[in-house]
Each structure stands twice: as structure tokens, then as C-alpha cells.
Amino acid sequence: MKNEVSLCMIVKNEENYLPSCLNSIKDIVDEIIIVDTGSTDKTVDIAKSFGAKVYYFPWHNNFSEARNESLKHATKDWILILDADDELSTKNQENLKNLLNRQLDENAIYYFETLNYYGNIVDDNSITINLNPRLFKNNHGTHYEGEIHNQLVYSENKYKAIYQLMQINHYGY
């Protein structure tokens, strides 16, 4: 059983990061939803080259607004959230495939580790780690709140937070 997944992203001027991100996930998700908030570089062309559905949304200094716009366009049963400067290693690509091939809890939000690399060298000495909600059931009501530090709000407040051993590399720090 493969759960169908919409990748939802918000982007602006991400031509340097987006190809690596989409290459790491393109064979796992069933659709790619990109909400562009005003790119002036090749971000949109890159997204389209991966078969993404691109939607334009004016930036109002509110990350939740833009993220909610991406959720609105998702048509698959599950939603995966990534940033353009995120990337899955080969090991974690396999981990995600395995997760999606089993029965998921429809009342759960799956939290993955985000490995935030900072500085000019990508190594374990320049890293912070945090948990972020990354995978959840596409039900109309789950949404983001907060202009800058956006938080995922489950529609009925009856969700389970499940920690899933999965790591996403985040390079934009």
C-alpha cells in the first residue's frame, strides 16, 4: 500500500537550493505543489522542470499565509512539507518510502528531525537539530498560524504527535 503524497513548498529565489531538494524527493511524492512568492531568478523554471504545479501568491510577510495557500492546492491524501533548502539523504529517501508503504495513522502528525547546518562547511560540528511537523493527512482544516514562526494547527485538536526517525538536511542557515 503506497500512500499518495503531495509535496507542498513555498519558495522565493531558491534557484541554488531547489534542484537538490526536488531531486531528493521527486521519485517519492505523487505531486509537487510550489507556491512562489515573487521569485526573480530561475526558481519557477526549475520547479516546472520537475513537473511541479506552480502557483503565484503575493508575499505579505506572513509564512503561514503562503504555506496555507500551498495546502489549498494539494490533491493527494497526505501532505509532506519541505523547504527549498531541505534535502533527503539516500538513506532517508528509503526511510520515507518505507514509511509511506505502510498504514499511516490518519490522526497523526509525523515529526521528523531537521538537521540545520550553518556556516560554510557542512559537518556535524556546525549543526543544530530540531523536530518539525512534516507529514500529515490532507484534511481541510489543518492549517498554519503565525506570521514568522508558523505552527501547524490540526483541525480538531485530537491529533497524535508521532516522532518518526527521519532526518532532513537543512542548508539555509
Specify the long-range contacts of residues 129-134, CB closer than 8 Å, at least 24 apart. Answer: 131/163, 132/81, 132/168, 133/81, 133/109, 133/161, 134/80, 134/81, 134/82, 134/110, 134/166, 134/168
Whether 122 shows a pLDDT value over 80: the answer reads: no
Whether 154 shows a pLDDT value over 80: the answer reads: no
Across 18-32, 138-152, 154-168, the highest mean pLDDT is recorded for 18-32
CB neighbours (10 Å) of residue 60?
A: 10
What's the CATH number where 103 sits? Answer: 3.90.550.10
- Work out the pLDDT band at 46, boundaries 50, 70, 90: very high
Whether 145 shows a pLDDT value over 90: the answer reads: no
State pTM to two decimals: 0.94
Whether 125 shows a pLDDT value over 80: the answer reads: no
Nearest residue to 132 via CA among 88, 89, 93, 163: 163
Measure Cα distances from 28 to 55, 85, 94, 96 in Å. 21, 18, 9, 8
- In the chain, which ranges are E strands? 5-11, 31-36, 53-56, 78-81, 86-87, 108-117, 127-137, 143-145, 151-153, 160-170
pLDDT tens digits along 69-97: 999 999 999 999 999 999 999 999 999 99
Q: How many structural domains compose the chain?
A: 1
Average pLDDT of the chain is 91
Whether 111 shows a pLDDT value over 90: the answer reads: yes
| Residue ranges making up the domain that contains 131 | 5-170
More confident residue, 87 or 1: 87
Checking DSSP bridges between strand 160-170 and strand 86-87, what pairing results, if any? antiparallel
| Cα gap 29→20, rounded to integer Å | 15
- Work out the pLDDT band at 149, boundaries 50, 70, 90: confident
